[in-house]
Structure 1
Amino acid sequence: MNSLVVLAMLLAILMIGLGGKKGLRSFITLFINFALFIVLLFFMNIPEVNPVILTMIICIIISFINLFYINGTNTMTKTAFASTVFTTLLLSGLILYFANATFIQGFGKEETEELSMASLRIGIDFSKVAVAVIMMSTIGAITDASIAIASPMKEMHQLKPDIDRKNLFIFGLSIGKDIIGTSMNTLFFAFVGSYLALLILFSDLSYSWSEMINSKIFSGEVVTIACSAIGLIAVIPITAFCTSYVLTKKTPPSQQEN
């Protein structure tokens, strides 16, 4: 049996065994997200399609599926989704600026040997592709952070229905402070693990610190991690505010009677 099939089966057993129905939905969501990624690649090859706008739409669809399909439709997922979309739109301008300012589009000289036999005239704006890559890299961290804050805030409101908006907002910020450190380490070690071979190559080629930092591959990953971290930090107060506002919003008497 193929080792990938065995790993997929083991992952499915563990997710379903621990998470039950939510674990099954999470496992199915992996394949749905993969299918959306294939759709993104297919339409990105069409010159008339803007990769940035297409990626933004796919990111919103991914966050919608990850939040509502896995966790259901409730106040927690609605505020988390709204916070994710708002943060993604807010972050897109920052990503556009830094991607163009740092010139990380295209391929680095370390990749020229592998691409020497291929034609690079594919009719795609690589600057927009670089922005699309960063946006796809940030959506996961933003979605995870938003649901990680909205969920305990909802639980707190259920335990203390009389809690006011300010204290509930402060509670959400305190949760955000707790997850910042671990999430930052996750982003950092994801970079180190993915590009450990590249760092070893830099060492074997006797790259100086300035050459390594100014390498297109290295700087592109740094910009991706930095944008992901900024999105992670930005979504914390946004989610805390949206959730505290919705949970403490007074229901009109006419709606209460209905």
Structure 2
Amino acid sequence: MNVLILLALILLVLMVWIGGKQGLRSFLSLFMNFGVFFFTLALMLNPDFDPIILTFIASALIGCISLFFINEVNRTTVIAFISTMITISLLLVFIVFVSNTLMIQGFGEEETEAISGYSLYIGIDFMKIGVSVIIMSTIGAIMDVAISIAASMQEMRKQYPLIKKTELYHSGIDIGRDLLSTDTNTLFFAFFGGYLALLIWFKDLSYSVGEIVNSKIFSSEMMLIFCAGTGIAVVIPITSWISANYLLKEDVD
């Protein structure tokens, strides 16, 4: 049996065993999100479509699948979805500005040999592709923080029905602070895990610290981590504010 199929079956069994129907929906959502990603990638190859707009639409679809398909439509998922899309919108503007300033899109000199046999005139704006890569890499972490804060604040509202709006908001901020360090470190170590071979190559080529830091590959990946961390930090107050206002307003209505 193919190893990939075997691993997929193991994952399916564990997710259904632990999560039941929700675990099954989570497993199916992996393939649905992959379909969205693959379809978006196919459209990006067409110069008539703007990669940034396609990425925003894809982010909305991924958010719907990851939140509404898995956890159904409820107060928690609606708050998390709204918070995620607001954060993605703000992050898009920030990333476009940073990308235009740093000018690190495209391939680094370390990749020259690998792409030497291909044409570089493909008619695609690599700056916009770089923005899309960052957004796609961060949307999962942003949604994770948003749903965690929204669910925790809803539970706190149930346990303390007389809690004030400011107290509920600051509780969400406190919850977000605990998530901020762990999620940021997850992104950081994911980079070093994925590019460990590259770092070893830098060492074998006797790159200095300055050469490593200024290499295009390293700089682009560090920008990804910093932008992702920025998105995680921004979604915390946004989700806390929306949750505090939405939960208390709904109870009043």
TM exceeds 0.5? yes
Report the counterpart of residue 151 of structure 2 in structure 1. Answer: 151
Report the counterpart of residue 26 of structure 2 in structure 1. Answer: 26
**Aligned pair 1:211/2:211, yes or no?**
yes
Amino acid at match of 1:238: I
Equivalent position SS for 2:123: coil
The CA deviation string for residues 167-189 of structure 1, in whole angstroms up to 9 with x for no partner, is 11111111111111211111111
Amino acid at match of 2:12: A
Residues 1-258 of structure 1 mapped to structure 2, 5 A cutoff = 1-249=1-249
Equivalent position SS for 1:211: helix
Q: CA deviation at 1:80?
A: 0.7
Amino acid at match of 1:107: F
The aligned length equals 253
Equivalent position SS for 2:73: coil
Segment of structure 1 superposing worse, 57-66 or 243-252: 243-252
* RMSD, aligned CA: 1.1
Supply the distance in 2 between the matched residues of 1:209 and 1:202 (Cα, whole angstroms).
9
Tell me the TM-score normalised to structure 2 length.
Answer: 0.98
Supply the distance in 2 between the matched residues of 1:30 and 1:116 (Cα, whole angstroms).
34
Supply the distance in 1 between the matched residues of 2:12 and 2:104 (Cα, whole angstroms).
37
Supply the distance in 2 between the matched residues of 1:222 and 1:10 (Cα, whole angstroms).
34
Tell me the TM-score normalised to structure 1 length.
Answer: 0.96
Q: CA deviation at 1:33?
A: 0.6
Runs of 5+ unmatched residues, structure 2: none
Amino acid at match of 1:220: S
Q: CA deviation at 1:120?
A: 1.5
The 1:223/1:71 distance shift into structure 2, 3 A limit, reads same
Q: CA deviation at 1:250?
A: 5.5
Question: Moved runs in structure 1, 4+ residues, more than 2 A?
Answer: none
The 1:210/1:154 distance shift into structure 2, 3 A limit, reads same
Amino acid at match of 1:74: N
The CA deviation string for residues 3-25 of structure 1, in whole angstroms up to 9 with x for no partner, is 00011011111111111111111
Amino acid at match of 2:200: I
Q: CA deviation at 1:148?
A: 0.7
Supply the distance in 1 between the matched residues of 2:214 and 2:250 (Cα, whole angstroms).
54
The 1:189/1:250 distance shift into structure 2, 3 A limit, reads closer
